[in-house]
Amino acid sequence: MDIANTNNTAGNPESGSGSENVSENTVSGAPEAAGLPGEEPGPAAPEAPGAAEAPEGTEGSQVPLPPRDQIKLEKLTVFNWGSFSGLHSVTIDGAGTLITGENGAGKSTMIDGLMILLSSAGKAQFNIAASQGDRSDRSLVSYMRGNYGSTSDEEGTYARAMREDSTVSVLEAVYRHTMKDDKVVLLAVFYLPGRSTALADVKKLYAVAEEEIPVPDIIREFSQSDSRALRTFLKRFRGIRICDDSFAEYLTCLKYRLNIQNDNAPALLSRALGLKKIDNLTSLIRTLVLEPCDVAEDVRNALRQFDDLGRTHDRLVDARNQQAALRDLPGECQTMESIDNEKAVLQAVTGEIPAFVAGYAVSFYEARLLQIGLDIRKYEDMAARLKTRHDNAQQEFIDYSSRYNSAGGNSISGIEQQLREETGLSEADMLRLSGVCGLSEDTADRMIENVVGTYALPMGIARNSWERCCLR
C-alpha cells in the first residue's frame, strides 16, 4: 500500500493480507471548523451584496475571501489492527493524500481504523468500498483478531486469525487546526480476552485529548485485568476526557472538540471515507445531510384535532371551570406558606429555648460558684486563724507546764500521793483538798467533808476548827 501526499511525500506502512476489492481510496483532511468531519472544502461562498468591487483596471478579478480555520486529519496510528500487527502510523498531508495499493494491501483496513473512531462498534460499516451496500464480512472482532481467510476441517469452516489469544488493539487519530497550534486527538483501546469472537466480550475505552498521546506508552500502561493504571497515565495529558466504554459520551465530546453541529456528520464522514461511488446522491443527501422535517406529521395531527374539535371545546370549558374554582388557590397557598414559615420560625425558637434557659442557669451557677469560692476562702482563712490560735494555745500550755514543773509541780504530786496514803482520801478528795489550796470551792468542800467525817468527828474536833486548821 502506498500513501502519496500532494506535496510528493510518501510512506509505506507494512502490508498485510485481507480481502480488499477496491484499488484506491482518497483520504482528505478533516472538515472545516464549522463543517462536517471528512468533508472536502466546498467552493467559495458567493460574494455578499454590497461587497467591494474590483478596482478599476482589474476587470474580472474577485476579492479573495478571508481564510477560515479548519480542522484536518494529520496522523493515524494503529496497533494490532487487521493485517497490521504491531505499531503503524500514517501521516496525512493537509493539502490531500492519495492511498493506493493492490487488493489486500490494507487500504480499507487503515481507513476502517479511522471509521471505528467515528462510529460505535456495533453500528460501524467496514469495507464499504468493496461491499457497496452488501453485508461486509469484516467486524471489530475480525480486525482485532487479524482474520485473513478461512480453513476447513471435519467439524466446519473457521476463520484464520493472526492473533488467536487475548489481544489489544489501539487506534489514535490526530487532527490539527490550520490557523492555530491546537490539536484534537481521538483514542480508542479495545481488549478481547482469550479466544473469544463475540463482540459483547470486547472491553472498550474511549478518550479525547488536546495533545498527542504516545501509543507505545499506552500499550505499556495497559493491563488486561485492570485499566486503572492506563486511566491514571492518560490523566497526565492536556485536555483529556476519558469516556470509558460510553461511546455516546465520547461522540458528544468528539463533536464538541471538532465543532461538528450536525448529528449526522460523523455517519456521513464514515460513509464518505470508504465510498468508491455513490449510486443515489438524493438518497444519500436526504438520509445523512438534511435535518428531519416534521411538517407533514404536524399537518396530519392538526387534521385529527379538527375532527375532534367538539371534545376539545368541552375540555376547554371544563378547564375554564376548573380555573375559576381554583382561582383562590394561589392566595391560599401563599397563606399556607406564610403559616409554614411562621411555624418553622416558632419551631426554631422553641428549639433554642433550652439553650436560652441554660444560658441563664449557667450565669446563675457561675455567680453561685463564685460566692461559694469566696465563702471557702473565708472559712479557710478562719480555719487558718483558729489553727494559729490552737498552735499558740498548745505552745502556751507547754510553756505553763514547763513553768509548773519548774516551780515544784512534781513535788506537789508526791505530796498528794503521800496525803492520800495517810488520810485514805480518794483521788477526788485530793482534788477537793487541792481546791482549798487554789482549787474550786465545791471540790474543797467535799474534801473537807471526807476528812472531817473520817478523822475530826471521831476525835471530837469541831468542823469549823478543822477547817481553820486546814486553811492555815
Q: Do 206 and 109 share a domain, yes or no?
A: yes
Same domain, 313 and 445: no
Number of domains present in the structure of the chain? 3
Q: Which of 267, 289, 311 is the last residue of a domain?
A: 289
If asked whether residues 252 and 299 sit together in one domain, one would say no
Same domain, yes or no: 285 and 244: yes
Residues 300, 155, single domain; the answer is no
Asked if residue 402 belongs to a domain, the reply is no
Average pLDDT over residues 243-259: 91
Q: How far apart are CA 94 and CA 177, in angstroms?
A: 10
Structural domain for 456, as ranges: 424-472
The label of the residue with cell 464514515 reads 270
Please check whether residues 70 and 190 belong to one and the same domain: yes
DSSP states along 7-74: TS-EE-PPP--S----SEEEE-PPPBTTS-TTPPP-PPPPPPTTPPPPPTT-TT--PPPPP--BEEEE
Domain assignment present for residue 394? The answer is no
Q: Give me the pLDDT at residue 171, please.
A: 96
- Tell me the CA distances in angstroms from 419 to 275, 427, 444, 450, 468, one per residue in order: 154, 10, 15, 13, 18
Q: Is the pLDDT higher at 412 or at 436? A: 412
- Domain shared by 161 and 239, yes or no: yes
**Interval 428-449: pLDDT, tens:** 666 655 554 554 556 556 666 6
Does one domain contain both 206 and 146? Answer: yes
Query: Do residues 15 and 130 share a domain?
Result: yes
> Given the C-alpha cell 469452516, which residue does it identify?
157
Question: Cα separation of 230 and 222, whole Å?
Answer: 5
Q: Which residues contact 423 (CB under 8 A, 6 or more apart)?
A: 429, 451, 454, 455
In this structure, are 145 and 188 located in the same domain? yes
Identify whether the C-beta of residue 98 lies closer than 8 Å to the C-beta of residue 10.
no
Based on the domain organization, do 313 and 192 belong to the same domain?
A: no
Asked if 157 and 305 sit in the same domain, the reply is no
In a domain, residue 392? The reply is no
- Range from 136-145, 186-195, 410-419 carrying the lowest mean pLDDT: 410-419
Q: Which residue type occupies 268?
A: L
Inform me whether the pLDDT recorded for 43 exceeds 70: no
Q: In the predicted model, is pLDDT for residue 399 greater than 90?
A: no
Tens digits of residue pLDDT in 253-302:
999 998 888 777 777 777 676 666 667 778 777 766 666 677 788 888 88
Specify if 410 maps to a domain.
no
**187 within domain boundaries:** yes
pLDDT value of position 21? 35
